[in-house]
Amino acid sequence: MISENPFAKFREECETALAYALKKTLPEIRVEALSLSKPPNIDFGQLASSLCFELAKKLKQKPIALAERLVSAMPISDFSLIEKTIAAGGGYVNFYADFRKFSDLTLSSVGQLNSKYGFVRTDNPVRVIVEHTSVNPLHPIHIGQARNPMLGDALARILECRGHIVSRHYYIDDVGRQSSVVAYGYLKLGKPKPDEKADRFVGKIYTVTCCLIELNRLKREFELAKAALLSDEAAKINKRLAEWTSIAAELEEKIPTLFGKLLAKIGEDENPEEEINQLNRAYEDGEPEAKNLIREVSELCIQGFRETQHRVEVQYDSWDWESDFVWSNRVSKVLQKLKTSPFVYTEDGVLEFDAEKVVCTLKLKGKMGLRENYEVPPLTLVRADGTTLYTTRDVAYTLWKFDRADRVVNVIGMEQSLAQLQLKLVLYALGYSRYADNFVHFAYNLITLPGYKMSSRRGRYISFDEVLDEAVERAYEEVLKRSPQLPEDEKRDIANFVGIGAVRYALVDVDPSKPVIFTWDRVLNFETNSAPYVQYTHARACSILRKASRKPRNADFGLLKEKLERELVLTVASFPDTFIAATEYLKPNLIADFANALADKFNTFYNALPVIKAEPKELSDARIALTDAVRIVLHNALSLIGVVAPEKM
């Protein structure tokens, strides 16, 4: 007999036994749900119910007396996985597993299901679009943005393993002033071919062009303020001018040739700012020359993105251009429909969406978890010059996604929470309440690098590629120390999957609502809570199994009596529950936490108890089977977060 979720089977038996006892002893009592929890120590059982404390208040009886009545009414012999129940702790009902049978069920299930163990399939699969990464095509993906693809890819993996039909989408934000800035600089240089990785090349053009445009603008404003005798204003502008002059000097030192060329070419234009604005309007209007130019430089940058994503094994099913939704009239259709609603108004030539009116009219505050005193700010849909804003275009994109999916998950930083809330309210205002109910903003916090402040406009960022390169090199130094006897190509291979795995794990294992403090001491820690630590544990399990060189055919799971062994069996058995929780609550960090906890328990077990040399042989076989189960579960857990589970390290 096998089970896809051994611990759930034990829990089900406990719930059935409790329900039977309740009906027999207190037939007049109706309990909506029988809640069971894991005691803090397995000496107190594997599951416990606090129901008697609640019943005691209603019945005016002592909780312990009620617990004793329930325990005495349970037909334990009818259940295969329950060994005994005890009334304890002043009123708890504690359930103890029959570990011989429970270990047999768990370890046999893991062994037979193997790479499928833990991945409990849903009874209601749906089509899900996970949109993630979506870094603007202006510069390389930097470490501050790298949490997005790591979380998005992990979400897609766990949803897929749950049985949902998942499609991964990348939204290319190519409409707006930033794209026009980089395209303007690219054109001024004569559309050169990259002489390095394409996104790095585009990023340099963007940074220098931004700097020169900002200097030009500030100089004009300074002269105007001086002419108008606005001395305080002139002083403020002059301070910002000094800062940007310093940035320009920094850039000129780093990339002198590119800086010199752009300085000369941009200097030929009387008003570069207006040139960029015209290009921006032309692109949104779909003028062929502007389309060709911005698409060309955007595709160059995306070429670099693809190379980076390939390194970390992140793939997309669809690359969706924002401009396509503008040119296809999807955006204008959304605007036309919104204008017929009572939620849109014009103020000083600007089209605004009254988000708060939607909330109040449709009574959405409670449903959306908004405070009663919170007023949702209005959303600008169209500027006075006729150009649309990002969120306006995102509405059209979201409707397009719902034509292809039942559920949409947007992996976007929590700084965009208001825009995502307003987008959801637009869906409600348009009458798409089912879409709005199935629209999820997966918000995550920032990455911080102690002592370093990033700014892509100023060219101050650490690219994701640079972080991956350094991680691999640091891992290589560690491999040299630990395994100097290995062939060079094997050392390099290990360093690659350890370094990349370390970065992936570090960006996933922190709760999304909390910031990631990125330090190498934490990321590449071989002793605890890191990918290298879990990978090393998996490799250690593989090594034990190689040395054993036999199948555990005579295992007697009743001999697994040590507390360490039983804790390990329980952890292995609880992996399916953890997987379900990670999927239903969209918490990929639960998987990383689980893998680390399992690695901790296995290393403690291995250091304390012999495996291959254990006596009798039936005990050795049982421990070999347990080791193999740990190997399988670690492999499956790491696969969900995109980390390689190596057989050797």
For residue range 92-131, what is the model confidence (pLDDT) as tens digits? 999 999 999 999 999 999 999 999 999 999 999 999 999 9
Would you place residue 521 in the very low, low, confident or very high pLDDT band (cuts 50, 70, 90)? confident
Share of the chain above pLDDT 70, in %: 99
pLDDT value at residue 41: 93
Which residues in 271-286 are b (16+ Cβ under 10 Å) and which e?
ebbebbeebbebbbee
Would you place residue 453 in the very low, low, confident or very high pLDDT band (cuts 50, 70, 90)? low
Per CATH, 6-97 and 478-510+520-640 having the same topology is answered: no
pLDDT, mean of residues 517-527: 84
Q: CA-CA distance, 294 to 187, in Å (whole number)?
A: 9
Closest by CA to 211, choosing from 182, 179, 191, is 182
Do 647 and 638 contact (CB within 8 A), yes or no?
A: no
pLDDT value at residue 225: 84
pLDDT of residue 191 exceeding 90: yes
Domain ranges of the chain: 6-97, 127-173+319-448, 177-314, 478-510+520-640
pLDDT of residue 456 exceeding 80: no
Question: For residue 376, is it left (φ>0), alpha (ψ between -120 and 50) or beta?
Answer: beta
Non-local (6+) Cβ contacts of 631 within 8 A are 538, 541, 542, 545
Tokens 């002198």, residue located: 256
Q: CA-CA distance, 608 to 225, in Å (whole number)?
A: 76
pLDDT of residue 141 exceeding 90: yes
Strands (E), 138-255: 165-172
558 DSSP 8-state letter? G
Of 299-303, 316-320, 460-464, 607-611, the least confident: 460-464
* Residue-wise pLDDT tens digits, 65-75: 999 999 999 99
Tokens of 510: 């922190």
Q: CA-CA distance, 492 to 210, in Å (whole number)?
A: 39
pLDDT, mean of residues 58-69: 94
pLDDT, mean of residues 267-277: 92
pLDDT of residue 454 exceeding 80: no
Tokens of 105: 């069920």
Mean pLDDT across the chain: 94
Q: CA-CA distance, 37 to 116, in Å (whole number)?
A: 26
Do 117 and 577 contact (CB within 8 A), yes or no?
A: no
* Residue-wise pLDDT tens digits, 473-487: 999 999 999 889 999
pLDDT of residue 631 exceeding 80: yes
Would you place residue 408 in the very low, low, confident or very high pLDDT band (cuts 50, 70, 90)? very high
Tokens of 164: 């949902």
Closest by CA to 331, choosing from 387, 281, 402, is 387
Query: Domain 6-97's class?
Result: alpha beta
Tokens of 599: 């690695």
Closest by CA to 546, choosing from 617, 611, 608, 604, is 611
Integer Rg of the chain from CA: 30
pLDDT of residue 505 exceeding 80: yes
* Residue-wise pLDDT tens digits, 557-582: 999 999 999 999 999 999 999 999 99
* Residue-wise pLDDT tens digits, 3-48: 999 999 999 999 999 999 999 999 998 888 899 999 999 999 999 9
pLDDT value at residue 270: 87
Tokens of 200: 């790095």
Non-local (6+) Cβ contacts of 236 within 8 A are none
Q: What is the DSSP string of 340-384?
A: TSTTEEEETTEEEE-HHHHHHHTT-TTTTT--TT--PPPEEEE-T
Q: Which CATH architecture has domain 478-510+520-640?
A: Orthogonal Bundle (1.10)
Would you place residue 452 in the very low, low, confident or very high pLDDT band (cuts 50, 70, 90)? low
Q: Which residues pair with 379 in a beta bridge?
A: 353
Does domain 127-173+319-448 fall under CATH 3.40.50.1000? My reply is no
Angle between helices 575-584 and 147-161 (to 10 degrees): 120
Q: CA-CA distance, 55 to 175, in Å (whole number)?
A: 62
Would you place residue 455 in the very low, low, confident or very high pLDDT band (cuts 50, 70, 90)? low
* Residue-wise pLDDT tens digits, 222-269: 888 888 878 889 899 999 999 999 999 999 999 999 999 999 999 999
pLDDT value at residue 643: 97
Angle between helices 288-311 and 464-482 (to 10 degrees): 10
Would you place residue 472 in the very low, low, confident or very high pLDDT band (cuts 50, 70, 90)? very high
